Each structure stands twice: as structure tokens, then as C-alpha cells.
Structure 1
Amino acid sequence: MGISSPGIGSGLDVQSIVSQLVALDKQPLQQLQVKASGLNSQISAYGQLQSQIANLQTQAANLASAASWETMAVSSSNSSAIVGTATSAAAPTSFSMEVSQLARAQSAGSGVFATGSSVGTGVLKIQLGTWDKGEFTSASDGTAVFSPGASSEVSINITAADDTLAKVAAKINAANAGVNATVLHDASGDRLLMRSSTTGAASGFRIQAVDDDGNNIDGAGLSRLAFDPENATAGLALTQTAQDTLATINGVSVASANTTFSNAIDGLTLTATQVTTAPVNVTVSRDTTSARANITAFISSYNALNNALSTMTGYNASTKTAGTLQGDSTAVGLQTALRQLVGSLGPGGGAFSRLSDIGVQFQTDGTLKADDTKLNAAMTNPDALKTFFAADNTGTASDGLATRINDFASGLLDPSGIFTTKTKSLQDAVKRNSDEQTTVNTRADQHQTQLLAQYSRLDSNLSQLTALNTYITQQVAMWNKQSTN
């Protein structure tokens, strides 16, 4: 098949003619493309609004949470000695507290062993419990008495004749007997240091030795590691007694095995960090810091949403451009509904009826602004604020403002809410627009094919006529020449 180029035979600019005719067919594409761009911009705008509604719901949910209004704070007149934390179960109160001693663990140490020497063989029996009398009381009133605790006695076998202090310490620590063993090295040799794993008077320990040398209390062989003053052993020497933290609250004695009092007062945990020299005043009160922060966060979130809606639905006179959602009834309706809801009355019968009562006012541009002085004054009445924002009466008009806003936002974000349905509608419109563009292109392509075929036939016919005309002209010229001769 030969190469064909329409227009060569006739001299017509067929490609240009066809291109211009097809361009006329494709003129609707420009309008469709502009419309598609607008639809995609609207989808993007609704996505942005959906995100901001979700943020507003989060802030409203914080304000609607009863727990956020029940946070308690603990202050201490001497935070170097006593600090505290409180849960919502704590009641506002104030009391005096003094600390006479802090909890500590029992400690004991051995005599000096030659580095690397054997300590003897046998069994060490470790028992946790409480010591009384003797060295364990300030009065040293008689022979020490040990009262075993609830934990079972732990036996540790020291069977190797070459077991050093380090190996014995490792076996003690591995036994989890409630004591920790450490080997101390110095110029004179090695010592075994023993300490209770926890503090408190009940964390004292007794170590009895069953010494293979036949004498369990002579301070020789394995009995050098015993600690049993009740039975006059000559092993480890006491370096620190186990004791509770002792304190008074309003003059009433309290004790703790550690430095924390978690059950002395409901909902309150107190921690002693040092012995006091004077009474410490502790005050438990409502902590409005987080609630105030929640109100500020809600205002910021609402303002961001309001500004976005205003920009999207408005007209910028300086740039002479319309917002992405100008004239969109859904967006305009949403903005109106939000403003009405935020400006509506709270539950009846409370100290506060509207946001303006707590110092939060609408501005001319539709945003909210807090009057710090008035809001701070309102924060002194947290129960009334809790009712205004967080009252929950199962979707009735008596619900708190934040509860209603949370429910409203939840409905908007529901799978059947306006964001889902509106976005689906816009996506369907984009799909229809795309189909229309495809149809226009298809028709234009078909028309182009038809035009090229038609002009190819015309070109062929004109080419034949031109050839015939040339032949006749040549013949006439020859006849004229012959007749002249």
C-alpha cells in the first residue's frame, strides 16, 4: 500500500481543515474540565471540613467528660518533705502532716574474708519477718525477738568447698529470698553485705546457718554468714535496722512500709521524702487547670472551623474570587447550624446559661473570644461549669452544651451523615463528568476519521480532475500549434 498524505493531490490543507473541525467538536471539553476541577476542589474542601469537625468533636468530648471536671490537685507547704497526688475520689480538704522517720531496709555486714578464700559449707536459711527488742529498738530492751513473716523460709546450699563470697552472693541473689547480697572489696579483704530487697519493719531478715563444721553459732566456717541475734550468733553485724515510715496526720499516727501512704485518705497518695521539723499543711482542691485548657482548645477548634467555612462559602472582594463552596447549601447550612448550637442555652437551672456567661463571646466575624477575667471567675465554680458543659440527660434539651456539640458532630461524621453523603454525591458527579469527557473525545475521534475519509476521496477526485485538465490543456495547445503550421 502506498503512503497517503491528504491534500497532496488537490493542494488543499486537509489536516488543518480537519483539525479545526474536530476542535469545534471538542469545545465542550473545556467546560467539563473546569467543572471537574471545581468538583474535586469541593471534595477536598469537604475533607478538610470533616477533619476539623472531628477535631471539634474531640474538644467537645473532653469538655463533656465528667472526669475532666473532677481532677484534684494536691499542694504542700513543704514540697521538699511531703508531696501528693489525688484521684477524682478525693474530696477537697486540708490537714497537717508530720514525718518522724522514713522507711528503710535492714542491712548487715560480715567480717573480713581473705580475697578468694572459701567460706565453708552447709546451708543458709533466710527468713523475712519483724525484729523487736535489743538492737532493733532505741531502748535496747532485752534480747532481740524475731517474728517470721508470711513468706516461707528459703534454704541455700553452700556445698562446694571452694565457694568464695562472690559465689555465695550469687547463690543468695538467685534464690529470690527477699534479700540482696553484695561483696565489698577493700584493702583489708572482702566483706559480704546483706540488705532487704524492700523497706519496712516487716522486711527484716534472719539468716541461720547449718554449718558442716558442727557448730552453727561459733562465728567460724559458714556460721560467719549467719545473722540471728535472738540465738546469739556471732556472724553478720547489724548496720541498719528495718523500719516503717512513721507520720501523723492531724495528730493521728500512721505508718507505711515504704515512703508512700496510699490508703490513709481516700483518693489521696502522699509521699514523704524527708523527716519534718515542723507541721506541713497539705491541701486538696479542685484542679481547674486542665478544664481551662479544654475550654481554650475548644475555642481554638471552633474558630478554625468557622474561619474555614467563612472562606469556603464567601467571596473575596479584593481578589474577586469566590470560595470553593460558595452557594453550596450544605456548607452554608452547616455553618448556620454550628453557630446556632454554640450560641444556644445550656441546661436550665444552672449558674451559667450561655457561653457569654463564662466570658466566651461571639465576635463580628463569627469567631469566639474568651474574656480571661470573667472566665477565671467562672472557673472558681467548677461544679456549675461541669453542669453547663457535661450534663448528660440522654439527648434531651437538658444536656450540657459540650454534650450536645459532641452528639451533633458525631451525627455529621456518621457513615450516613452529611460528609459521607455529600462526598459520595460529589464523587458521582466527577464520575459522570469523566464519562461525558470520554463521550466527547470518542465522538470527536469518530468525526475526525469520517472527515479524513471524506477529504481523502475529495482529494482523489480533485487530483484526477487536475490531471484531466492538464491533459486537455496540453492537447489544445498541440492542436493550436498544428493549425498554425
Structure 2
Amino acid sequence: MATISSPGIGSGLDVTGIVTGLVQAEQVPFEARIKDQEDTTTNKITALGSLVSAAAAFEDAAAKLNSSSLFEVNKITGSNDYFTTSVDSTAVAGSYSVEVKSLAQGQKLASQGYASDDFVGSGTMTIDVNGVDMELTFDGTETLSDMKDMINDAQDNPGLYASIITDDDGQHLILNSREVGKDNAISISVIDDDADNTDSLGLSAFSFLDPNADPDSPAPVGNNMNQTQAASDAVIVIDGALTVTQSSNVFKDAIEGVTIIAKKVNDENDTNTISVSQDTSQVGSALADFAAAYNTFLETSVTLGRVNTDSGIVGPLVGESILRTLTSQVRNVLSETIDSQGGVNSLASLGITSNREGLLEVDESVLANQVNDNFEDVKALFVGDNGIMNKLTDSLSGYTGGGGVIQSKIDSYKSTLDRLSIERETFAEKMTALEARLYTQFNTMDLLVGQLNSTGDYLQAQLDNLPGVVRQDN
């Protein structure tokens, strides 16, 4: 049976208010302490995340400068209307004249004219492209459109497209090799059911002998298709004497490390010059990125560990030894010098120095001169086991990454948050039990007071009714 509870009805006391006040007296200071610890810990995790992000970006910039490939970049000039060029690290500096003598193109064949409902004949057709054959069989009910579809849909299509062009003479089957160059010329042999494989009637009307085929090898006979475009190779002449023939318009490593893509034929004896040289600008750009990454790292470190007495702002990592140790190691590496036969033995010798705030500044004039005049010395300063960048990345890698010192610190603070969460849950259960206990105690007291009040009222009524008792009314 349900009971109706109304705390305080017996005693007249605000039992609910009293219990709430007693619980809050325990709860408020606890919540304030826990929240302060959670906020502090969360701020430290966020701050360490910012630090590891800045350190990782700085590490990436240093690793880029520790790469030999950065110092082996070439550049090329000379792209024009006749050809475009590109270069890789294997090319050697030099200049070359190039003349485009011819472009590679694919072959095109056109059939005689047909009406749309004409049949193409019956028999077997074998189409060869670059030594790959496709065989098609016709039963005499196929039109030119059917032949087109059979060629395009064949799974063993050796590399050609079929289409139809309609002119004043009717429909023409057009065959176009997918790839350019003489090697991809089209040959078509026919076994015609009309017993004549050479005439222009029936299926033999589509025969065509590759004009580039080996005359001593078995070959189809009859050229009844019209060649509207011959297959041809691309040809360039380098330095006026060296002829290079290619089945495509892409000449890769005709000049070592250089790719030339022919676009247009030069006029006779007209040439264009290409020049290959070392691209030192990549190093200068990488150094500028490095300086910017270091400055971001340093500014982040200073902000996280700074105490501003004027504003009262305290950095979230003040007092963290990890911050002092990391920045100290980085500064020590950046100030190192190496043994060098030339004048490049430190960052300072490249014009990269620290200002009063500790930020790196780059004297671009000094840097450009050193990179241009002492390129190998610059490479030795940065690249290799004894290079500054290798030492720097070794130092930074101990702090960055999933197994680094910073991540370990972050994991420790996350454990603290987990502990505080458990402590909060445990305390909440304790407060629930306290509230229940207080309500039990106050309800018991309330019931007792109510009973005493009832007894008092009863006794007072009995006394009022005793003989001889005079009631005095005001």
C-alpha cells in the first residue's frame, strides 16, 4: 500500500530545506575542488597537444632538410610550341638543341560506301594490331552498323575503335587505332564465303594489308579499305645529329633524366634549346619553411610556459619540466657547428640567426649566396648522420609521435581525468546515501514530534475538562 510522505508536517520544520542544505554543505566544496582539478588537467592536455603539434611540424621541416633528394632537384627550361619538357634528379646539367621532325599518329581506314540496310557479306575477318589478333565471323545478315558494334564490343579487341561516317556515297566504316605509331598499324585479312578474298565484293571489301608489314612474313592480300591517315612514328633530332624515333610522342630518357613530349613539327632546320640545371630554390624554400616552423614551435612553447604578472595570466605548462627540457635541447642542436672545409659550418653561416626574442631570422642575401656558391657544403651541414637536421629530428622524435614523452604525459593526465570521474561517481553515490539517511532521521524525528504534539493536545484537553478548573478567556 502506498504511503503519502510530507516531511515536516509533524514538527513544522522545513525538513526538505534542511536536508538539501546539509547535502549541499558537503557537495559544493567537493564539486568546486573536482572541477578545478578537471579544468586544470584538461587545460594541460590541450596545451600538450598544441606543443606536440608544433614540435611535429618542426620535426617534419627538419626532416625535409635532411633528405638528399632535396639537394638533387633539377630544373629545366625550354618548353615551347613544339614540345614540352620535364626533368628528374638523374639528369646532368647541360644545354641541348631539339628539332621535332615528325609526330606519331594512329592509322585510320575507311570502307567504301554502303546503304544502311546493305549486308556486308559472310565469312571470317581477322584484324591484327601490333601482333594481336581478333577474329570475327559473319553469317551474311549483318549490316555495317552491326560490324561496327561487333568490333567495338569484342573482348579480344586488339586496340582499335570502329565508327561510321555518312557522306554522299553512303555509310563508311571507319577504323582508328587506339595507340599511335607504326607498330600499331592495322591489318585485315578475310576469308570470304564467295570464294574470292581479294575483290571488293562481300567481306573481302574490308581487307587491308599493313604497308609496314614484313614482306617475307605471311600477310593478307588486297587493300580494299582506303587509308585516310597513315600510322607514323615521332622523330626528333638532338644537337643536329642524333636522331631518335619513338612510337609515341613521349621521349623519355632520350636525354637522361629528361622527358620530351612532341607537340608540333618544326620547320626544316629550325630548333629549340632546352637547358638543365640544379634547382637550388628548393633548398631556400625548405629553409624558409624550417625557420617558420621553428618560430611557431618557440612561440607556442613560450606562451604555454609564461607567467604574465601584469595580466595575471599563467601558462598551462608553467612548471612542467618537459617544456624546459625540450626547448633547451632544440636550442643546443641549432647552435652546433660541424667540421667544414668551406665557410658553411652552422646555421649562422647561412645567415640564419636568432633575434632578441629567440626567433630565427633569415638573411636571404647571405643564404642565397651560400646556396649558390657552396651548395655541397650546405648539403653536408643538413644531410647525413652528422648533419644538424638528423640530430634535431632525433631529439624531437623522442617527444613527438604516439610513443613520445609528450604523449606519455598526455596519457597520464587522461588517467587523472578518469580517476576524477570515478571519484565524482563515488561521491555522488555517497551523497545519495547521505540524503536518504538524513531524510530517514528527520522523518523519524518529525513523526516523534508529531506524536508528542498530539499527546500534549490530548492532555491539555483533559486538564481543561477537570472540575474546578476555571477557564480564563482574554
Q: Does 1:169 align with 2:159?
A: no
Supply the distance in 2 between the matched residues of 1:439 and 1:123 (Cα, whole angstroms): 88
Aligned CA RMSD, in angstroms, stands at 3.8
**Residues 56-205 of structure 1: pairs in structure 2 closer than 5 A:** 56-76=58-78, 78-128=79-129, 151=131, 153-157=133-137, 159-173=138-152, 174=154, 175-205=156-186
Give 2:365's aligned residue.
373
Q: Does 1:364 align with 2:365?
A: no
Supply the distance in 2 between the matched residues of 1:23 and 1:232 (Cα, whole angstroms): 106
Q: CA deviation at 1:470?
A: 12
For these two proteins, the number of residue pairs brought into alignment is 454
Q: Secondary structure at the match of 1:412?
A: coil
Supply the distance in 1 between the matched residues of 2:289 and 2:296 (Cα, whole angstroms): 11
Letter of the structure 2 residue corresponding to residue 210 of structure 1: I
Q: Does 1:233 align with 2:222?
A: yes
Cα distance change on mapping 1:314 and 1:116 into 2, 3 Å = same
Measured against aligned partners, the alpha-carbon deviations of 1:321-372 in whole angstroms (never above 9, x if no partner) come to 1111122222232232233333433575565322233333323333323333
Contact 1:119 1:165 in 2 (8 A): yes
Q: CA deviation at 1:480?
A: 11
2:336 to 326, 344, 348: 344
Contact 1:89 1:266 in 2 (8 A): yes
1:256 to 246, 257, 278: 246
Give 1:219's aligned residue.
200
Q: CA deviation at 1:45?
A: 1.3
Give 1:420's aligned residue.
407
Identity among equivalent positions (%) equals 25
Measured against aligned partners, the alpha-carbon deviations of 1:190-247 in whole angstroms (never above 9, x if no partner) come to 1222333322223333333333333333333333222237888351233232221111
Give 2:296's aligned residue.
304
Contact 2:303 2:315 in 1 (8 A): yes
Letter of the structure 2 residue corresponding to residue 406 of structure 1: T
Cα distance change on mapping 1:4 and 1:152 into 2, 3 Å = closer
1:38 to 37, 40, 48: 40
**Residues 5-20 of structure 1: pairs in structure 2 closer than 5 A:** 5=7, 9=11
Structure 1's unaligned 5+ residue stretches are 129-148
Letter of the structure 2 residue corresponding to residue 386 of structure 1: K
Letter of the structure 2 residue corresponding to residue 297 of structure 1: D
Letter of the structure 2 residue corresponding to residue 166 of structure 1: S
Q: CA deviation at 1:429?
A: 3.5
Letter of the structure 2 residue corresponding to residue 267 of structure 1: G
Letter of the structure 2 residue corresponding to residue 307 of structure 1: E
Contact 1:75 1:83 in 2 (8 A): no
Q: CA deviation at 1:189?
A: 0.6
Measured against aligned partners, the alpha-carbon deviations of 1:97-125 in whole angstroms (never above 9, x if no partner) come to 11111112233323322332122223333
Letter of the structure 2 residue corresponding to residue 160 of structure 1: D
Give 1:143's aligned residue.
none
2:377 to 380, 384, 398: 384
Q: Secondary structure at the match of 2:139?
A: coil
Measured against aligned partners, the alpha-carbon deviations of 1:357-398 in whole angstroms (never above 9, x if no partner) come to 33333233333233333333344354433332222x2xxxx1
Give 1:144's aligned residue.
none
Give 1:324's aligned residue.
316
Supply the distance in 2 between the matched residues of 1:177 and 1:22 (Cα, whole angstroms): 87
Give 1:146's aligned residue.
none
TM-score, reference length from structure 1? 0.79
Letter of the structure 1 residue corresponding to residue 46 of structure 2: S
